[in-house]
Amino acid sequence: MKSMNQLISEYTSQIQQGDLPHAYRGILEFIGKLRADFANKFPQYEVRNVYQGRMDITFFAISSQELLSKELKIAVVYLHEKGHFEVWLSARNRSIARQYRSINWEEGFGQIKVFHDENNPDAIIECTLTSNPNFDDQDQLISLMVQGVEDFMQTIIHLLN
């Protein structure tokens, strides 16, 4: 295992090369643009601010009145280590999330493939939106993300009703 000094030295070297900060800024700018697109297209939803994470996860949350009344939210998530986007059904806190995990969500989603990573206490149910995002065609990527999140959210609302 590397010492903290070795790790920080490698980190500093990567920062000095310039690619890492540029890529990180690009991810954050895209997610900010995606968030703004959701806020503009869906004024009926509450779209929260972007959480930047610690270079592990970046996300923003979306809620509808139906979800808020049940203390639930949808998180649009970029997982840095995997390099892909997911959408999660999450709760206001982990105690509420545990209550909803007893529901057999998979049966109600039809063609949408959902799962729950047991190592993820912040999600009730998850869905990969894209495991290979094309940041060079951001309009196409936004379109893909908006459609995937909207389908996921509408299915959740339908299943809760």
Collect all residues with Cβ–Cβ distance below 8 Å to 132 and sequence separation of at least 6. Answer: 83, 84
Domain boundaries, the chain: 32-160
The helix (run of H) or strand (run of E) holding residue 156 is helix 138-160
pLDDT in tens, 9-65: 999 999 999 899 999 999 999 999 999 999 999 999 999 999 998 889 999 999 999
pLDDT in tens, 107-149: 888 889 999 999 999 999 999 999 999 999 999 999 999 999 9
In 1-117, which residue ranges form alpha helices assigned H by DSSP? 4-17, 19-41, 65-69, 94-100
Question: Tokens in use for 123?
Answer: 């999600």
Using the predicted structure, report yes or no on whether residue 103 has a pLDDT greater than 90: no
